[in-house]
Amino acid sequence: MNVLVLGSGGREHALAWAIAKSPRLDSLFVAPGNGGTATIAKNVPLDMNDADAVIGFARSENIDLVVVGPEAPLVAGVADAIRAAGIAVFGPGAQGARLEGSKSFSKEFMLAHGLPTARYKKCTSQDEAMDYLHEVGAPIVVKADGLAAGKGVVVAGDMEEAEEAVRDCFAGDFGEAGSVVVIEEMLEGPECSMLAFLSEGKALAMPCAQDHKRAFDGDLGPNTGGMGVYSPVPCVTPELEAAMQEIMQNAAAATAKEFDDAYTGVLYGGFMLTAEGPKLLEFNARFGDPETQVIMPRLESDALEAFYMVATGKLDALDLRWTDQVAVCVVLASDGYPGSYEKGKVILGIEEAEELDGVTVFHAGTAFNQDDELVTNGGRVLNVVALADTFEDARELAYEACDKINFEGKQYRHDIALRALEA
Q: Contact at 8 Å (CB) between 170 and 127?
A: no
d(CA 277, CA 266): 23
Q: Contact at 8 Å (CB) between 359 and 349?
A: no
For residue range 318-349, list pLDDT tens digits in order. Answer: 999 999 999 999 999 999 999 999 999 999 99
Q: Pick the closest to residue 385 from 406, 366, 363 (CA basis).
A: 363
H, E, C per residue of the chain: CEEEEEECCHHHHHHHHHHHCCCCCCEEEEEECCCCHHHCCEECCCCCCCHHHHHHHHHHCCCCEEEECCHHHHHCCHHHHHHHCCCEEECCCHHHHHHHHCHHHHHHHHHHCCCCECCEEEECCHHHHHHHHHHHCCCEEEEECCCCCCCCEEEECCHHHHHHHHHHHHCCCCHHHHCCEEEEECCCCCEEEEEEEEECCEEEECCCEEECCEEECCCEEEECCCCEEEECCCCCCHHHHHHHHHHHHHHHHHHHHHCCCCCCEEEEEEEEEECCEEEEEEEECCCCCCCHHHHHHHECCCHHHHHHHHHCCCHHHCCCCECCCEEEEEEEECCCCCCCCCCCCECECHHHHHCCCCEEEEECCEEECCCCCEEECCCEEEEEEEEECCHHHHHHHHHHHHHHCECCCCECCCCCCHHHHHC
Residue 195: count of CB within 10 angstroms of its CB: 25
pLDDT score, position 367: 97
User: Any idea what the Cα angle at residue 10 is, between residues 264 and 324, rounded to 5°?
Assistant: 75
First to last CA, the chain: 43
Q: Which residues pair with 6 in a beta bridge?
A: 31, 68
Burial 257-277 (b: 16+ CB within 10 A, else e): ebbebbbbbbbbbbbbbeeee
Q: Contact at 8 Å (CB) between 68 and 79?
A: yes
Q: Which amino acid is located at 423 in the chain? A: A
Longest pairwise C-alpha distance within the chain: 59
d(CA 296, CA 387): 11
Residues 6+ apart with CB under 8 A from 108: none
Q: Contact at 8 Å (CB) between 257 and 200?
A: no
Q: Contact at 8 Å (CB) between 90 and 66?
A: yes
d(CA 242, CA 245): 5
Encode the chain (423 residues) as per-residue pLDDT tens digits.
999 999 999 999 999 999 999 999 999 999 999 999 999 999 999 999 999 999 999 999 999 999 999 999 999 999 999 999 999 999 999 999 999 999 999 999 999 999 999 998 999 999 999 999 988 888 999 989 888 766 678 888 899 999 999 998 988 878 877 788 999 999 999 999 999 999 999 999 999 999 999 999 999 998 899 999 999 999 999 999 999 999 999 999 999 999 988 899 999 999 999 999 999 999 999 999 999 999 999 999 999 999 999 999 999 999 999 999 999 999 999 999 999 999 999 999 999 999 999 999 999 999 999 999 999 999 999 999 999 999 999 999 999 999 999 999 999 999 999 999 887
Residue 154: count of CB within 10 angstroms of its CB: 20
Q: Is 86 exposed, middle or buried (0-12, 13-18, 19+ CB in 10 A)?
A: exposed
User: Considering the entire predicted model, what is its pTM?
Assistant: 0.93
Q: Pick the closest to residue 395 from 229, 219, 218 (CA basis).
A: 229
Residues 6+ apart with CB under 8 A from 417: 228, 230, 328, 391, 394, 395, 398
Residue 147: count of CB within 10 angstroms of its CB: 21
Q: Which domains does the chain carry? A: 2-93 (3.40.50.20), 125-179 (3.30.1490.20), 188-317 (3.30.470.20), 326-422 (3.90.600.10)
Q: What is the CA radius of gyration of the chain?
A: 20
